[in-house]
Structures are given as structure tokens and as C-alpha cells.
A = this chain, B = another copy of it.
Amino acid sequence: MPTPATRDRLVAAAQELFAAQGVGATSPRQVLAASGVGQGSLYHHFPAKHDLAVAAVSATADQALAAALQELSGDSPALGRVLAYLERPRDALAGCRVGRLTSDQAVMDDDDLRATVRTFFDRLVATVAEVLTEAGVPPDDATDRAHAAVAVVQGGYVLARATGDPQAMRAAVRGFVTLLDPTTRDRPDDEESL
């Protein structure tokens, strides 16, 4: 299909709008305007808003999960990979594109969308737990710490958005990392330090 892929333009526009304002707060009309497509085309490709939302949210979750799994895999030391995931530079003020969906009523009321969000976090936490186990943490502790690690990042987004300060997320991560791996205390901060 050599077509300019109207469908892909719609999905991409929906992903951006969903990330910026949430699913429930984004209207099909806005997606049309942002993508430059006509009314009928949208409803040709996606019979209802639900169908567009499923396509866009799935794409966003897939992309986010792939990025995280990328960081968590590899041959470098296991604990270092977890630290890399925790300390990855993030657009803290924008919030997590997947995590934010948990307070979007339009998402939680839709079985398909809720399942997508659930799968993302189930896999993310399970992977972090595996890597921590590989790092020598006992399995039970690894599961709890994996939950804590993912929660610190998600909560860091909340704090950063609430206070309007991206440093709030960095402080939260730092507070957790220095407990998880005390040897990081004397390490130079390798991120932008503004």
C-alpha cells in the first residue's frame, strides 16, 4: 500500500493529543484538525472514538515498553541497568504517557484500554524484578523493590507536575537510588545538572 497512510497520520496525531491532554479530553474533531484529515476519513478507518483510542494507546504503550526493555537488557551489570532505567532523563513535566492514563476516566472505563495499560506495567515490573534477581537480590525482595522502583518513577512524574519542577523527579529517584545502591553516593552526576 503506497498510500501516504492516512490511518497512520490519524494515529500519530491522536498519540500526541492523548499525551498532551489525555484521552477523555481529546475530541475526534481535534484529531482531525491536527492530522489535516477529513471527518469521513476518520470514521472510515475507526468506526468510533474507542477504536482510534485503542490504536493510539497500544502504539504508545508498545513504544514505551520497548524503550524500557531496551535499557533493562544487555550485557552490562544487572544493577547498573536498573539504575540506568531509574535515572534516564525524562520529560518530567509532561508526565508518563502510560501512567497518566490511570487517572483518565475514559481509559479506565474501557476494558481494552485498561488491559493495555495493565499489560505495560505488569511487564515492566516483572522485567525490573528479573534484572534485580540477576543482580543478586533475593526473589521476594526483588519483586518488592521492582514495584518500588517503577513507583518512584511514576510518583516522580506526579511530584514534578504538581510542583512544576522537573528536579522533584530527580530528587525522588536519587533518594531511592542511594538506598538501593549506596555505592552511587560518591558517583558524579552524569545527567544535565541545571
- Listed in ascending order, the chain A residues whose CB lies under 8 Å from chain B are 21-22, 24-25, 95-96, 98-100, 102-106, 108, 114, 117-118, 120-122, 125, 141, 143-159, 161-164, 168-169, 171-176, 178-180
Contact = CB atoms under 8 A, between A and B. Distances in A.
A118 B154 contact: no
Given A105-B21, A163-B121, A172 B148 contact: yes
A93 to B, nearest CB: 10
Copies in the complex: 2
Main secondary structure of the interface of A (DSSP, over half): helix
A144 to B, nearest CB: 3
Contact of A147 (B108, B125, B171): B171
Nearest to A121: B162
Nearest to A25: B105
Contacts of A178: 141, 144
A61 to B, nearest CB: 11
Given A99-B162, A102-B158, 19 more contacts: A22-B24, A95-B102, A96-B158, A100-B103, A103-B103, A108-B161, A121-B163, A141-B178, A143-B175, A144-B174, A145-B175, A147-B175, A148-B152, A150-B159, A151-B154, A151-B175, A153-B155, A176-B176, A176-B179
A159 B21 contact: no
18 contacts: A22-B103, A24-B24, A99-B155, A103-B104, A103-B161, A118-B163, A121-B162, A122-B163, A144-B178, A147-B159, A148-B172, A149-B175, A151-B152, A151-B155, A151-B175, A152-B155, A154-B159, A155-B158
Contact of A25 (B24, B120, B164, B172): B24
